[in-house]
Chains A and B, each alone.
Chain A
Amino acid sequence: MVATVLFTSLVLFLILNVPVGIAIGLASAAAALAAEALSPNYISQQLIAGTDSFPIMAIPLFILAGDLMGAGGVSRRILDVANVFFGRVTGGLAIVTVAVCMFFAAVSGSGPATVAAVGSMVIPTMLEKGYSKSFTLALVATAGSIGVIIPPSIPMVIFGVATGTSISNMFMAGIVPGFLIGFALMGWSYIYAKKAGIAGIEGNFDCRVAAKLMWEAKWALLNPVIILGGIYAGIFTPTEAAAVAAVYALLCGLVFYREISFSQLLKTVARSCSTTGTTMVILGCATAFAKILTIEQIPVQVADLMTTISDNPIIILMIINVLLLFVGCVMDTTPAILVLSPILFPVATSMGVDPIHFGIIMVVNLAIGFITPPLGINLFVAARVGNAQLGTVVRGIIPFVAIMIVLLLIISYIPPVSIGIFSLLGR
């Protein structure tokens, strides 16, 4: 009953042109009224509970850092350098974008924060070079999901705690799948650029030009060094790194390059505020939605039902994947892991699936959830950072979801992809 109200009203509100976050909030409110003993206040309380979290502050901070890097000339210089090295390759800029996302994935433990950091940095340049808007935004949204697969990763921590699985082993097992997804996206970028006729630049590699550009970009290039170095030297946490990146980008724009005026600065920060507001309201309302799903035990019931269908491990893994992909469409990663892993984990491991392997399957699944509508936070961040309509991103996302599903199947049915690293290291 509550489930029916929740899902039908969500679809209805989305069709009636209600903003996504508000539609999710309205559907939750309708469900709260339909549910037994749940006060309407519960929705308002969850708006706070869902946003009162330090790690999610990495998202606005990376949005700000990205915007400041764009306005202050940091992004342009980094991309100029990348262009010298990779510009002659077909699809070179898109490939660089994926590489930058992989880099940020090693910094941040969150998917949308990775999109935020990379998006405003690369999107304008990619559009300039002739990539279509929907391809560009979909690429960034998808590559951003690598943020939770290459360590550090907040969902992996949550999974480890919920199931008692080794978190550092989860981190290790994420490395190869993360790179695999990165390389697949680079390959697709190459194919896309070839088809779209986006050729590389002409001419040979010139050492002196490269050296000159790198020297001019020295302050800009120092930014990623500071962020990554700071985290791995234990100076700051991934979330704090986002703030440091923003402060450093501001320093570059105001002091080193002097490309940003005071009024421009205000405009840039205002833009970051707007992106933050429109994406974070969705997160707040999605928390209320997830809590009602949890309280009504809807995912639990569905999971219980689905896992009794078969006892063939191959089929069970397939069912679990379908279930998780579906859940990923409507639920954010953290609540999904908390609610589903206690049910699915024993089912999978009792059939001989390695716990770490299963954790990676789960995280990759929910990373796909970042890019599946209606609730795909990476899509929203990409749309707002790219100043585009949601439809533009969604139109471009289909081939990417297909690629991710193929990779998910590879990761699901070829365990060495994730856990092979342990035998390589002799553990």
Chain B
Amino acid sequence: MTILRFLDKYFEISISVFLLLFMTALIAVQVFMRYVMGESLSWSEELARYVFIWLIYLMISYSAREMKHIKIDAALGLFPQSWQRWVVILGDLLFLAFALFIVKTTYELVLKQMMLDQRSTALAIPLWMIYAAPGVGFFLTAIRQVQTIIWRLRNPDKSNIEEF
């Protein structure tokens, strides 16, 4: 249980913190090697880009958990007060639907990439590993959205999460 709770709170964010620091360090080292050592790295930029992509899609899930995605909340005012709660939940369901759509299409795309056996230019990383990022990110997001919807149904009087 405690492990589950730890993963719930820290899984995406701990990986992402590492990725952002790693990406920053890579670019700083790239500058150092080119300017100071006169011996440019050929792979640092590519690796930094791929780290960045994974960071983005992991953080989509984390932000879904924290309910921090940017919305046009003012539009809720178009609905009667009593409906608003359900509109929010409908929005969450649509978000969930998009997440599942991306998981499905990414899965197909990854299979295609595996068949193509396409590699990155500098490090020869199989590109399906990069294309998998939105799939994994949105898979986690789907879990987070289910969590969110359940939380909203259980807490009709709260508009946004403080702590699970």
Residue of A nearest to B127 (CB): A48
Smallest beta-carbon distance A215→chain B, Å? 28
Asked whether, in the complex, the Cβ of B60 is within 8 Å of the Cβ of A277, the reply is: yes
Query: 8 Å CB contacts to A: which residues of B54-107?
Result: 55-60, 62-63, 66, 68-76, 78, 87-88, 90-92, 94-95, 97-98, 101-102, 104-106
Closest to B106 in A: A44
> Would you give the shortest CB distance from B82 to chain A, in whole angstroms?
15
Interface string of B25-59 (1 = CB under 8 A from A): 10110110001000000000100111011011111
**B52 CB to closest chain A CB, in angstroms?**
5
Residues of A within 8 Å of B63, CB to CB, are 274, 277-278, 281
B52 touches A17 (CB 8 A): no
Interface pair A391/B72, CB less than 8 Å apart: yes
At the interface, yes or no: A243 with Cβ under 8 Å from chain B? yes
Chain B CB within 8 A of A133 CB = no
CA of A380 to CA of B20, assembled, Å: 20
Closest-by-CB residue of B relative to A391 is B74
- Given A44-B102, A243-B31, decide whether A20 and B71 contact each other with a Cβ distance below 8 A: yes
B147 within 8 A of A: no
**Chain B interface, DSSP helix/strand/loop, else mixed:** helix
Do residues B135 and A52 form an inter-chain contact, with CB atoms below 8 A?
A: no
Contact B52 A274 (CB under 8 A): no
Contact B23 A57 (CB under 8 A): yes
Q: What CA separation (Å) do A282 and B72 show in the bound complex?
A: 13
Q: Does B109 contact A (CB under 8 A)?
A: yes
The answer to whether B70 and A282 touch across the interface, beta carbons within 8 angstroms, is yes
Count residues of chain B with CB under 8 A from any CB of chain A. 61
Interface of A is mostly: helix
**Would you call A389 and B73 a contact (CB within 8 A)?**
yes
B105–A284 touching, CB < 8 Å: no
Binds B, one of A157-165, A265-273, A345-353: A265-273
The 8 Å CB contact of B69, one of A19, A243, A246, A273, is A19
Q: Give complex CA distance A383, B72 in Å.
A: 11
Partner of B20, one of A16, A29, A52, A273: A273
Partner of A60, one of B35, B55, B75, B106: B55
Q: A384 at the A/B interface (Cβ < 8 Å)? A: yes
Given A17-B75, A26-B98, A240-B30, A270 and B13 touching (CB < 8 A)? Answer: yes
Report A-chain residues with C-beta under 8 Å of the C-beta of B97: 26
- Find the A residue at minimum CB distance from B13: A270
Q: What are the residues of chain A within 8 A of B102 when measuring CB–CB?
A: 25, 43-44, 47
User: Does B108 belong to the interface (CB within 8 Å)?
Assistant: yes
A239 CA to B97 CA, complexed, in Å: 35
Which 3 A-B pairs give the minimum distances between C-beta atoms? A277-B59, A17-B91, A19-B69
**22 interchain pairs, CB-CB under 8 A:** A17-B91, A22-B98, A25-B102, A29-B101, A41-B108, A44-B106, A45-B109, A48-B131, A52-B49, A52-B50, A57-B23, A60-B23, A64-B24, A240-B30, A272-B20, A276-B55, A277-B16, A277-B63, A279-B70, A384-B68, A389-B71, A390-B71
